[in-house]
C-alpha cells in the first residue's frame, strides 16, 4: 500500500519528537560543588565550560580569577604533506623480512622511516580579573551545575556577598560571565587579556579589549628541546574580543584593560575566532578574516541583556542534555550516574555541529603552547573512546564534527595511501591534528607504523547510521569513506603460509614482543586488532551496500574475502592472542599487563565477540584477567559489561571527574542496555550494588529509544519507542521474552 506523502511527513515529525523529548528527573542534583578555589596549578580540576567552539576553565579564586581561553580550531602549523615516494620500497622490504619470519629485521627497517610529528593545539590566552579587598573571604563555594552548564562562584568579603556566573553559549557563540553583589556599588575589579602566542592587545571603544595574534607555523613538542617557530607571514591568525557592560559605577581605562569601579553588576561577553578555513587551506594566505567573524558575533550578542543570553543558552543546552535521565538506588545522585551525566556534559561542551573540529586529547581546553601529547588526535583509541558514548547517550549530534573530520582524513589519506604504500583507498596512522595529518609519525614502529587509525574511525560512521537509520547520510557521507578504507585494507593484506589473509606489516598499539633472540620488536603480521577492525569494516560495508542497493561487485569481493581473513587465535592459556601466533614458548609478549587492550575491542566497542561466540567470549575474559592492572585503554568497563559481568564493569568505571584524562564511562550504558547483536538486551550486566533504578531516553541501534526501570535487581517496566517502526527482539537479563505477553514491556510506534 502506498502511504500518502503527508502521512509519511507527519510520521517522521512524530519520530523526531520521540527523540527530542526532555525527560523528568531531579536535575538540580547534578552539581559538582567545592568549598575551595582550584589551585592555578591544577588545570585539570578547574571547572570547564564550552560551546563546542569556545572553551574556558573557571578556577574560582576570589582575588585573582585567571581564565584560560580556547577556540577549537586554533592550532600551530599549516597544511602540509610528508609522504615519501621511497616508502613503498621500504614496506615491501619489511614484508619480505616478515615472510621469512625475520621480525627483528622488519622492525629495524621500520625504524629507518623518518616520519614527522603532528602539530599542537594552542591556547588563545587568559582573561584575568583582579578583585579589590576580598582577601579575607568566607562562605566560599564553587559550583558546576551540569544540568544548566553554568559555573557559579560565591563568597563573602567585608560583609558583602559576591557572585560570579559563567557559561558558554552555543546559540550566541560567546562566553558570558556576570559578576554582582548583594549590595549596590560594591563590584570593583580590573579586566585584561594576555596571550602566550605572538599577539597585540588594544583597548577599543568605550568598553572593549581586543587581542589579535598568530600561532606558530611549526611546533615539535616531542623532541627534548621543543621547537617552536614563528613567522608574521605564516601560521594561523586569531582575534579575541571582550566587552564589559556595567550597571552602575564606571569603567576606566588602565594600562592593560579596564577597571570597574563601584558597579552593581557587570556582564562580560567574550568571543574569538581564527583564520582556519579548512584542513587544506593555508590559514595565512587562504584563511578567514577572524576580525569579521568576531565583530559579527559580538554585534548580535552585545545587544542582548544577560537574561536573554542565559535563556537562549539554557533552552539550547537542555534540549540536548535533558533527553536522558538516570538514577540508581534513589541516591541523589549516585556517583556513577553523575559520572555518566558528567561525560555527556563534557562531550556537549567539546563538540557541537559547526564547531570546526572534533574534541581533541584535552577536550577543548588547553593553556600550553606545547601541551601534553600536543593535545592532538591519537587515533589508536582516544577519539574513538571519547565519542563512543554519544549515540547511546542520546546526544548523537555531537559526533558531527568527528564525522566531518573523518572525511578530511579520507581526503588526505588518499594521497598517503597512494604515495607511501602504492595502495588504493585511504589511510590514517597513529597521530593527527586539525590539518588532518595522515602520514606515519616518527619514532617506534609500535605507533609510527600503525596504519589502522582511519579504519577504526569508520566504526563511528557506521554506528551513526545504525542508531539513526538515515539512509541519505549513509549514501552520501558514510559509505564512500567506508569503502575507501576497505580498499586500503584489501591492499594491506597478504596471504600467509597457512593461506589466510593478514595485514603486513602490522603492530599492536604501543606494545612489543621479544623474538627468539630476546630482542624487543613491534612489527609482525596480522595482529588481532588489525584483523578485528578489518572484519568489522568489511561487514559494515557489506550491510551498507545491501541497504543502499549499490556496489554489488565490491560487496561480492568483500564477501569472498571475509572467510579468508585470519580468524581470532586462542593461546595455550586460553586467552585471546594479541599477536597472530602463540609465542608463549619461543617468543614472549613484552608487557603482559600493558595499558592498551586493543586486541579485545571485538568485545567492545565492536561486536564480533558476543553471546553467540562463547569460546571467544571465554578467551576475551581470560585476556582481560591476564592484563591485570593494565588494559584500561580503551575501556575495560565496556568490555566487562559485554561479558555480562556488571560487578567487574562497575569496578572499572571512571569517576575521577572533572579530570581530563580519566576514562570515559563507556561501560555505564552497556550495563543497562545492549543492542549490538540485533536484539535489545535490557539490564544485561546489572551490578549487585544497583538494586533499583531507572534510565529514561537511552538509545539503541535500529532506531529505538528506551526507558528502563528496575527494582530488587529485576526489570519492573520498559517503554520502547520505535523511531523507525521496527519491532524489536527483546532479551531481559539474558532471557528472550515474548513481547506480546510480557506486561512489563510497552512498545510505542
Extract the C-alpha cell encoding 668.
555505564
**What is the chain's mean pLDDT, rounded?**
94
Grid coordinates representing 657 are: 571527574
CB atoms within 10 A of CB 128: 17
In a domain, 223, yes or no: yes
Report which of 352, 344, 396, 448 is spatially closest to residue 695, judged by C-alpha positions. 344
The DSSP letter of residue 657 is T
User: Count of alpha carbons within 13 Å of 698, Cβ hemisphere only?
Assistant: 28
Query: Is residue 8 predicted with pLDDT exceeding 80?
Result: no
Quote the CA–CA distance of 176 and 310 in Å, as a whole number.
9
Q: What percent of the chain has pLDDT over 90?
A: 89
Across 702-722, average pLDDT? 98
720 inside domain? no
The pLDDT tens digits of the residues spanning 576-586 come to 999 998 866 66
Sheet containing 187-194: give its strands across: 47-50, 54-58, 64-71, 125-131, 187-194, 257-263, 250-253
Residue 330 lies in a domain: yes
- Above 70 in pLDDT, residue 416? yes
pLDDT (tens digit, 9 = 90+) per residue, 647-687? 999 999 878 777 755 556 789 999 999 999 999 999 999 99
Domain that holds residue 132: 34-76+121-337
Confidence of residue 611 (pLDDT cuts 50, 70, 90): very high
Specify the number of domains making up the chain: 1
Q: Is the pLDDT of residue 37 over 70?
A: yes
Helix ranges restricted to H, 322-440:
335-350, 382-387, 400-416
What would the mean pLDDT of 381-408 be, rounded to a whole number? 96
Indicate if the pLDDT at residue 304 is higher than 80: yes
In 3D space, the residue among 626, 622, 653 whose CA is nearest the CA of residue 637 turns out to be 653
Q: Is the peptide bond before 110 cis (omega within 30 degrees of 0)?
A: no
Rounded to 5 degrees, φ, ψ at 486 are: -65, -35
pLDDT of residue 663: 55
Q: Is residue 631 part of a domain?
A: no
Return the C-alpha cell found at 533.
577492525
Residue 222 has pLDDT above 90, yes or no: no
Residue in the structure block whose three cell numbers are 569496578: 651
508, part of any domain: no
Looking at the DSSP bridge assignments, the partners of residue 153 are 142, 164
For residue 402, the SS3 value is helix
Q: What is the average per-residue pLDDT within 1-23?
A: 45
Q: What is the pLDDT of residue 91?
A: 97
State residue 7's pLDDT score. Answer: 28
- CATH code at 285? 2.70.98.50
Decide if 475 is inside a domain: no
Residue 316 lies in a domain: yes
Please state, in angstroms and rounded to a whole number, the distance separating the CA atoms of residues 512 and 411.
31
- pLDDT, tens digit, 9 for 90 and up, residues 152-187: 999 999 999 999 999 999 999 999 999 999 999 999
DSSP code of residue 129: E
Q: Is residue 58 part of a domain?
A: yes
Amino acid at each position: 500500500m502506498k502511504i500518502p506523502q503527508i502521512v509519511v511527513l507527519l510520521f517522521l515529525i512524530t519520530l523526531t519528537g520521540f527523540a527530542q523529548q526532555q525527560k523528568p528527573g531531579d536535575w538540580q542534583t547534578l552539581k559538582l560543588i567545592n568549598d575551595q578555589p582550584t589551585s592555578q596549578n591544577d588545570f585539570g580540576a578547574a571547572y570547564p565550560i564550552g560551546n563546542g567552539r569556545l572553551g574556558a576553565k573557571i578556577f574560582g579564586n576570589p582575588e585573582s580569577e585567571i581564565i584560560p581561553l580556547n577556540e577549537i580550531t586554533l592550532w600551530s602549523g599549516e597544511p602540509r604533506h610528508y609522504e615519501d615516494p621511497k616508502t613503498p620500497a621500504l614496506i615491501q622490504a619489511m614484508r619480505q623480512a616478515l615472510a621469512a619470519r625475520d621480525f627483528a629485521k622488519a622492525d629495524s627497517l621500520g625504524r629507518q622511516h623518518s616520519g614527522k610529528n603532528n602539530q599542537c593545539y594552542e591556547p588563545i590566552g587568559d582573561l584575568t580579573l583582579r578583585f579589590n579587598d576580598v582577601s579575607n573571604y568566607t562562605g566560599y563555594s564553587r559550583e558546576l551545575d551540569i544540568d544548566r552548564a553554568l559555573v557559579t562562584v560565591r563568597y563573602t568579603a567585608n560583609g558583602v556577598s559576591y557572585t560570579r556566573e559563567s557559561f558558554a553559549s552555543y546559540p550566541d557563540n560567546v562566553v558570558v560571565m556576570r559578576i554582582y553583589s548583594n549590595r549596590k556599588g560594591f563590584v570593583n575589579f580590573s579586566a585584561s587579556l594576555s596571550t602566550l602566542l605572538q599577539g597585540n592587545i588594544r583597548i577599543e571603544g568605550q568598553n572593549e579589549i581586543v587581542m589579535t595574534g598568530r600561532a606558530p607555523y611549526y611546533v615539535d613538542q616531542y623532541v627534548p628541546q621543543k621547537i617552536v617557530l614563528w613567522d608574521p607571514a605564516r601560521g594561523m591568525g586569531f582575534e579575541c574580543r571582550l566587552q564589559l557592560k556595567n550597571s552602575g559605577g564606571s569603567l576606566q581605562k588602565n594600562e592593560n584593560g579596564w577597571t570597574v569601579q563601584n558597579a552593581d553588576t557587570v556582564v562580560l561577553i567574550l568571543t574569538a575566532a581564527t583564520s582556519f578555513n579548512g584542513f587544506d587551506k593555508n590559514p595565512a594566505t587562504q584563511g578567514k578574516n577572524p576580525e569579521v567573524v568576531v565583530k559579527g558575533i559580538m554585534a548580535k550578542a552585545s545587544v542582548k541583556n544577560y537574561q536573554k543570553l542565559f535563556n537562549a543558552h539554557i533552552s539550547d543546552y537542555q534540549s540536548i542534555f535533558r533527553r536522558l535521565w538516570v538514577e540508581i538506588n534513589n541516591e541523589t545522585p549516585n556517583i556513577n550516574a553523575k559520572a555518566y551525566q558528567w561525560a555527556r556534559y563534557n562531550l556537549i561542551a567539546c563538540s557541537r555541529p559547526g564547531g570546526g573540529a572534533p574534541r581533541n586529547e584535552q577536550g577543548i581546553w588547553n593553556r600550553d603552547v606545547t601541551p601534553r601529547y600536543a593535545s592532538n588526535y591519537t587515533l589508536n583509541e582516544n577519539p574513538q573512546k571519547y565519542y563512543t558514548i554519544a549515540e547511546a547517550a542520546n546526544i548523537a549530534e555531537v559526533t558531527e564534527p568527528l564525522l566531518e573530520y573523518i572525511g578530511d582524513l579520507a581526503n588526505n589519506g588518499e594521497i598517503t595511501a597512494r604515495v607511501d604504500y602504492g595502495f588504493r583507498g585511504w589511510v590514517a596512522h597513529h597521530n593527527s591534528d586539525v590539518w588532518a595529518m595522515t602520514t606515519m609519525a616518527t619514532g617506534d614502529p609500535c605507533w609510527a607504523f600503525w596504519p589502522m587509525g582511519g579504519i577504526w574511525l569508520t566504526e563511528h560512521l557506521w554506528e551513526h547510521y545504525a542508531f539513526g537509520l538515515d539512509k541519505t547520510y549513509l549514501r552520501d557521507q558514510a559509505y564512500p569513506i567506508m569503502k575507501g578504507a576497505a580498499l586500503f585494507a584489501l591492499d594491506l593484506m597478504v596471504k600467509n603460509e597457512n593461506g589466510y589473509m593478514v595485514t603486513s606489516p602490522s603492530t599492536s598499539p604501543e606494545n612489543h614482543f621479544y623474538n627468539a633472540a630476546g630482542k624487543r620488536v613491534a612489527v609482525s603480521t596480522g595482529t588481532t586488532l588489525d584483523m578485528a577492525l578489518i572484519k568489522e569494516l568489511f561487514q559494515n560495508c557489506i550491510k551498507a551496500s545491501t541497504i543502499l542497493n549499490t556496489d554489488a561487485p565490491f560487496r561480492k569481493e568483500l564477501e569472498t574475502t571475509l572467510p579468508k581473513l585470519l580468524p581470532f587465535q586462542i593461546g595455550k592459556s586460553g586467552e585471546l592472542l594479541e599477536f597472530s601466533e602463540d609465542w608463549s614458548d619461543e617468543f614472549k609478549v613484552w608487557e603482559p599487563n600493558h595499558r592498551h587492550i586493543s586486541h579485545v575491542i571485538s568485545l567492545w566497542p565492536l561486536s564480533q565477540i558476543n553471546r553467540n561466540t562463547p569460546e571467544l567470549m571465554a578467551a576475551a575474559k581470560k585476556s582481560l584477567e591476564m592484563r591485570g592492572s593494565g588494559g584500561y585503554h580503551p575501556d575495560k568497563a565496556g568490555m566487562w559489561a559485554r561479558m555480562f559481568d556488571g560487578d567487574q564493569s562497575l569496578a572499572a568505571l571512571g569517576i575521577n571527574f572533572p579530570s581530563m584524562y580519566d576514562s570515559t564511562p563507556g561501560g555505564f550504558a552497556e550495563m543497562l542496555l545492549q543492542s549490538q547483536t540485533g536484539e535489545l538486551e535490557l539490564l544485561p550486566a546489572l551490578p549487585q550494588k544497583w538494586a533499583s533504578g531507572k534510565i529514561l531516553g537511552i538509545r539503541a541501534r535500529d532506531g529505538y529509544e528506551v526507558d528502563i526501570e528496575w527494582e530488587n535487581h529485576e526489570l519492573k517496566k520498559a517503554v520502547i519507542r520505535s523511531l523507525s517502526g521496527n519491532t524489536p527482539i527483546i532479551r531481559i537479563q539474558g532471557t528472550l521474552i515474548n513481547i506480546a505477553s510480557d506486561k512489563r514491556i510497552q512498545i510505542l510506534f
